[in-house]
Amino acid sequence: MSEVGERNVRQNANAGRSNTGRIWATIVIVVVAACCGLFLYFTYLPAENGLFNILILGEDRNYSRNGDVLSAPGRPDTILLLMVPKSSRGAALLSIPRDTLVRFPNGGVRRINSSVPEGGVDLARELVSDLVGLPVHRHVVVDFGGFVELVDALGGVEVAVDKRMKYEDKAGGYSIDLEPGVYHMDGEMALSFVRYRQDGLGDISRTARQQEFVKAFIREAGSFRAIPSYPNMLRVAQKCADTDMTVKEVAAVAWRLRRLDSDTINSATLPGYFKGAYWDPDTQGIEALVRSLQDSAQK
């Protein structure tokens, strides 16, 4: 073969390799762009004022006079507002005592936990929004059975108990007998822990324990060891939780909560005062607290 022919062969080979390289580079760029697009799509939150607010209701059971569980909607035993920021890595958790007095649309003043039996989750969302001055974008409702199954699906949660806890509620069907210490709680023990209110401040102390449990649950769910439990947790959540969150919103919230711990989740209880057996909201205190929680969540 002549020198010219050899040079043409080499040029054609180089051109082929160059074209192949460009093709693979294009494929890589397209794949990376697609992955980035999917990531942005599934982690985007339509957060108003920078916060995506989720009302979490732990629903109590209703009982007949002979102790049978009724199928009618129960009163919320736990009321939490989770504030997830759109762009930062913090979050805030506000507990609303179930005996908080609020004004209903008909003008009557009653406990906030009577909202669900009277008007469903929509009424609860409306009352919470009016109470704290923030929009409620989505809700999650879990009953006692769903809570137990979800904790068990995760494999349990490690929680510190700071005081002696001993009580038996025969009507409610739960009991607790714990010494101070650290426990790896299964679903039944965790349910008794978050329901316990037999101490000096009653429901106010209980809201603090519920906040600590939620933080511990988020911390455990965000750990690498929890990854194998995700399919089972998803199955339980689909079966037991009532929510209007989309799959995309769940993914976006989970992405933001995955690395949070007790230091990056700011929690508080709705300011107020005891008024007999009720909790009377402190309007000015609520406004100041909500501003503080908003600021801390978006730092």
115 and 149 together in one domain: yes
Both 202 and 130 in a single domain?
yes
The per-residue pLDDT for 175 is 81
Beta pairing class for 91-95 and 76-85: antiparallel
| Total domains present in the chain | 2
Radius of gyration of the chain (CA): 26
On whether both 243 and 110 belong to a single domain, the answer is: yes
Per DSSP bridges, beta strands 69-70 and 62-63 are: antiparallel
Q: Is the pLDDT of residue 186 over 90?
A: yes
Same domain, 18 and 132: no
**What percent of the chain is modeled with pLDDT above 70?**
74
Average pLDDT, integer, range 194-204:
81
The predicted-structure confidence for 103-126, as pLDDT tens digits, reads as follows: 999 989 999 999 999 999 999 999
pLDDT 10s digits, 227-280: 889 889 889 988 888 999 888 888 888 877 776 666 678 889 999 999 988 999
Q: What is the pTM of this model?
A: 0.80
Residues 89 and 35 in one domain: no
103 and 55, same structural domain? yes
Half-sphere exposure of 286 (CA within 13 A, CB side): 19
How far is it, in rounded angstroms, from Cα 27 to Cα 31? 6
